[in-house]
């Protein structure tokens, strides 16, 4: 019995399989007219018009380009049985998580921008200013000696 008409009734047109031994991908167009004369027990040869073979490197390049273009964002692995209520709930949750992340990032930036000032007593601050004044006066005396020696 020919399988071509049976395969055409499937919802999924393309089937991809990876061959680990040869590091290639075989992509079968199950709706192709090239399969209409094959029986269910027949193997589909690689040179059949319904089969495309690509290398693993080519496959990775394809995925990278599809990701860059945003095509993969719209890909669906499970067919068209996506529940819109579930999708809306996930979108709301995603939005809430983005808002929480923005708040947390804002707090991190604010925390990094505010330097901590050490807390000193008033007594310590007066002593510190006195020491700084003495150091400045001593430095000025040295400068006066250097200028007098010339």
CA end-to-end span of the chain, whole Å?
A: 115
Q: How confident is the model at residue 58 (pLDDT cuts 50, 70, 90)?
A: very high
What is this structure's pTM? 0.44
Q: How far apart are CA 106 and CA 96, in angstroms?
A: 15
User: What integer pLDDT is reported at residue 57 of this predicted model?
Assistant: 92
Residue 51, pLDDT > 60, answer yes
SS (H, E, C) the chain: CECHHHHHCCCCCEEEEEECCCCEEEEEECCCHHHCCCECCCCCCCCCCCEEEEEHHHHHHHHHHHHHHCCHHHCCCCCCCCCHHHHHHHHHHHHHHHHHHHHHHHHHHHHHHCCCCCCCCHHHHHHHHHHHHHHHHHHHHHHHHHHHHC
Report residue 34's pLDDT band, with 50, 70 and 90 as the boundaries: confident
Cβ-contact 44, 51 below 8 angstroms: yes
Domain range annotation of the chain: 4-82, 83-116, 118-150
Query: pLDDT for 91-111, tens place per residue?
Result: 889 899 988 888 888 777 666
């Amino acid at each position: 019995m020919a399988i071509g008409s049976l395969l055409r009734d499937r919802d999924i047109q393309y089937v991809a399989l990876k061959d680990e031994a040869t590091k290639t991908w075989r992509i079968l167009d199950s709706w192709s007219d090239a399969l209409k004369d094959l029986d269910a027990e027949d193997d589909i040869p690689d040179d059949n018009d319904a089969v495309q073979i690509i290398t693993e490197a080519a496959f990775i390049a394809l995925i990278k380009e599809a990701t860059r273009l945003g095509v993969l964002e719209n890909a669906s692995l499970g067919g068209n049985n996506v529940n819109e209520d579930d999708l809306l709930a996930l979108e709301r949750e995603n939005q809430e998580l983005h808002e929480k992340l923005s708040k947390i990032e804002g707090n991190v930036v604010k925390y990094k921008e505010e330097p901590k000032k050490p807390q000193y007593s008033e007594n310590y601050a007066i002593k510190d200013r006195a020491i700084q004044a003495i150091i400045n006066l001593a430095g000025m005396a040295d400068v006066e000696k250097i200028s007098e020696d010339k």
